[in-house]
Amino acid sequence: MNKIRLLVLFASVFAGGLFTPAGAQEEGFEVPFFIGSAYTVCTLAKEGLLGREIARDFLKGLTDQDETSESVQQAYKALRDDPDLKDCPLPPAR
């Protein structure tokens, strides 16, 4: 992966964590950050700007890190049910 693509990925994920999709329910900071980051990575993978394997690994790491948080798990379920993200390489739910 070249340096420019890596920089764009980092900036997109960071921005995605700050700007969540419309209608996202916020409960503290972790849920909007999780939803925004996951939504951004899914969108990049869907558009072909990020490899599906890299996106899947990133999302798996994101869900593994927050697996004890009930609010994050509910947000993850909502992402899995989102019709716009049906092609996203989300790992299986726990």
Is residue 66 over pLDDT 60?
Answer: no
**Looking at residues 80-87, what average pLDDT do you find?**
77
Tell me the percentage of the chain whose pLDDT exceeds 90. Answer: 0
* 63 alpha-carbon distance from chain centroid: 9
51: pLDDT confidence band, cut at 50, 70 and 90? Answer: confident
What rounded mean pLDDT belongs to the chain? 68
Residue 25 has pLDDT above 50, yes or no: no
Q: What is residue 46's DSSP assignment? A: H
The pLDDT of 5-28, averaged and rounded, is 56
- In this prediction, residues 69-86 reach a mean pLDDT of 75
pLDDT of residue 63: 67
Q: Kindly state the helix (H) or strand (E) to which residue 87 belongs, with its residue range.
A: none
Contact 22, 28 (CB under 8 A): no
Q: State the average pLDDT over residues 24-41.
A: 65
